[in-house]
Structure formats: structure tokens, C-alpha cells
């Protein structure tokens, strides 16, 4: 059975003090019978302290992004080599905000996935459709195509997680229903299995997009959705 994930993308929120306070509160509230993997993705400047803070807890740390090159003249960028040394286990790749504001193409996402594996990181590959794409192509066409593009062209596949985040539901208050998230997740899993084999098809698929305390249970109850990526 696939282990559930509850992940939080903090985006550009929480300074050093707020990061420490939040992690203390989160650690205190974790149940003894925790049956999900907890992931937090703080800002780059707080990654090292967050990783140290959760070292002996069930919480793991993800970076919000990484560069595909190992080193070089890339001002403001972060290498996967640096992230693995910090204690990161996961890295978000291809988030819709990166695709939209930084023009990250499927080719860039694919290269970042390869770089993540090279440095022992598990990529959480974000996929999802805009409102226009939803209306013209349906709900699963774009996330399936983005998933296949991210995983194609590699000699072998490492561990990965897919995060289905419909762009029209991120920060808008609109949300896909658990049934819609399940159908898209099922389509993504089918495409992965057909293109990359049954073992890869057992990779975990998350839902993200206006996930709240009052609707998270519906997503976690799904047999196809393996957890949530919360961004609020």
C-alpha cells in the first residue's frame, strides 16, 4: 500500500523566527500513531535551519525549486548538490508559478528531474491545467502530457512523486472535487504505467489546489490520491 503524504509548500512566507515557531507547533501536534509522511518546503534561506530542526522527527524537508546545472554562473539559483548536503529529501519541480513566472518549459522540468535524481533527491513533479486548457482540452490531457514529458528521455527512472495541481484552483478558492482529483490521478497513473512500467505506476500522486482543513479528508480518503500538497 502506498504511504500517504501531507506536504506544505510555504512559498515566500515565514522568516527565520516564524519558521522555527511553526515547526515547534507542528512537531507538538503530530500524533503518536502518525500514518502519513509529513513534508515541509520552506524558503531557501530557512532550509538549513528547518532541516536541522526536524532531524529527529517524522518531518522531512523539501526545497521549492532547484537549478538543473550542478554549478556555474547562475546568479540566484540553487544546485541539487547544495540541497542534498543540507539534508533535503524532496524538491518541488515544475510548480505552476515557476512555469508561469519563470517560463519553465517541459524540457527544463525534465532536466531538473534528471538533476534531482543525480543528487539523490526525490522530485515532486507538479502538473496541472489552466482554466483555458480545462475548457478546451478537458481536465486530464495537460497533466498527463506534462507527466510523460517530465519522465521521458531518462535512461532509468528514480523515485518520484507527482503533484496534480490544477492551475485554476491554486489560491483561487476554487477546488477540484475529490472525485475529479481521483479521475485525473487515475489517468496520470495509467499513463505512467503504460509508458514506464507497472513499478513506476505505483508512484505516489498528490492533489494540490485550495486544499483546506474542511476538505482535506475527502482527498485523503481516495484510493488513487496518495496525499495533498498544501500551498496556503
Catalytic residue numbers read: 95, 165
Strand partners, 115: none
Identify the H or E element spanning 162. strand 161-164
Sign of the C-alpha dihedral, residues 159, 65, 150, 201? positive
SS3 state of residue 164: strand
Of residues 123, 115, 61, 67, the one with CA closest to residue 86: 61
Task: State the Cα–Cα distance between residues 10 and 15, nearest whole angstrom.
Answer: 11
Phi/psi at 51 (5° precision): -60, -40
Amino acid at each position: 500500500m502506498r504511504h500517504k503524504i501531507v506536504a506544505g509548500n510555504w512559498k515566500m512566507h515565514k522568516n527565520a523566527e516564524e519558521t522555527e515557531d511553526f515547526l515547534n507547533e507542528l512537531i507538538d501536534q503530530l500524533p503518536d500513531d502518525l500514518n502519513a509522511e509529513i513534508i515541509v518546503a520552506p524558503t531557501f534561506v530557512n532550509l538549513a535551519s528547518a532541516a536541522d530542526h526536524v532531524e529527529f522527527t517524522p518531518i522531512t524537508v523539501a526545497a521549492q525549486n532547484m537549478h538543473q546545472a550542478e554549478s556555474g554562473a547562475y546568479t540566484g539559483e540553487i544546485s541539487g548538490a547544495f540541497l542534498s548536503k543540507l539534508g533535503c529529501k524532496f524538491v518541488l519541480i515544475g510548480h505552476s508559478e515557476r512555469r508561469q513566472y519563470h517560463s519553465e518549459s517541459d524540457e527544463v522540468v525534465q532536466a531538473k528531474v534528471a538533476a534531482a535524481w543525480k543528487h539523490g533527491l526525490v522530485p515532486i513533479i507538479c502538473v496541472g491545467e489552466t482554466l483555458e486548457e480545462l475548457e478546451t482540452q478537458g481536465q486530464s490531457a495537460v497533466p498527463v502530457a506534462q507527466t510523460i514529458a517530465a519522465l521521458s528521455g531518462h535512461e532509468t527512472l528514480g523515485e518520484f512523486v507527482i503533484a496534480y495541481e490544477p492551475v485554476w484552483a491554486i489560491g483561487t478558492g476554487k477546488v477540484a472535487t475529490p472525485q475529479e482529483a481521483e479521475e485525473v490521478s487515475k489517468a496520470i497513473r495509467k499513463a505512467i504505467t503504460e509508458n514506464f512500467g507497472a513499478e513506476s505506476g505505483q508512484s505516489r500522486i498528490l492533489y494540490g489546489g485550495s486544499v483546506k482543513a474542511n476538505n482535506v479528508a475527502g482527498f485523503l480518503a481516495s484510493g488513487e490520491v496518495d496525499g495533498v500538497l498544501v500551498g496556503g
